A = this chain, B = another copy of it.
């Protein structure tokens, strides 16, 4: 699918067919999202996919009973790794080896990331992981697989369900599956969008309407 078509036609889906999204399909999507950008190339995203009945029921409870959590083929949990040192050594040595920085700079950054738990670290984790999660939505839709990113779930219960370590900050839950387009929400006119002129100003803020 053309990029612009993917962007313009992707919509959040609550109604799924019974067709399973295979683990191989999920792997292929993750193989695409690996190329998402991140600050310092630290790639602090972690994906856990829950595709068994019991797990999805637990997550549905954590999501205040939202039905599509169990109706969907799988649920994708996206975490941001708060430990900036987790992949620092590999990432910075790679950059030095390929000429992006010097060995000295690499050493300095490895040390800094391993020490650092700076203010605003949660926001950093949310921002970085959301880039990867958004890429997931388009890479999935390109294969005809719909997603529904969800607010409204209990973070502690979600972390417990999958055994997330302390340093994994839960960022997004999304259901995935093939859309059921027959007699469902799909047939409704799409929801309104703000206008381009409302979203965009040049030079300085010109109002958000």
Residues in A lying within 8 Å of B, measured CB to CB: 1-8, 10-12, 23, 26-27, 30-37, 39-41, 43, 45-52, 55, 81, 86-87, 90-91, 94-95, 98-100, 122-124, 126-127, 130-131, 133-135, 137-139, 141-142, 149-152, 161-165, 168, 171-172, 185, 188-189, 191-196, 199-205, 208
Contacts and interface: CB of A to CB of B under 8 A. Distances in A.
A30 B194 CA distance: 11
Contact of A163 (B26, B98, B204): B204
State the majority secondary structure of interface residues on A: mixed
Contacts of A33: 7, 199
List the number of copies, as a whole number. Answer: 2
B130 A134 contact: yes
B34 A201 contact: no
Given A12-B37, A41-B191, A130-B134, 19 more contacts: A3-B6, A3-B138, A3-B142, A4-B139, A7-B33, A11-B37, A26-B200, A34-B194, A36-B134, A39-B149, A49-B202, A91-B191, A98-B191, A100-B188, A131-B133, A131-B149, A162-B204, A162-B205, A168-B205
9 contacts: A2-B142, A3-B139, A3-B142, A8-B35, A10-B37, A30-B200, A40-B151, A43-B193, A46-B199
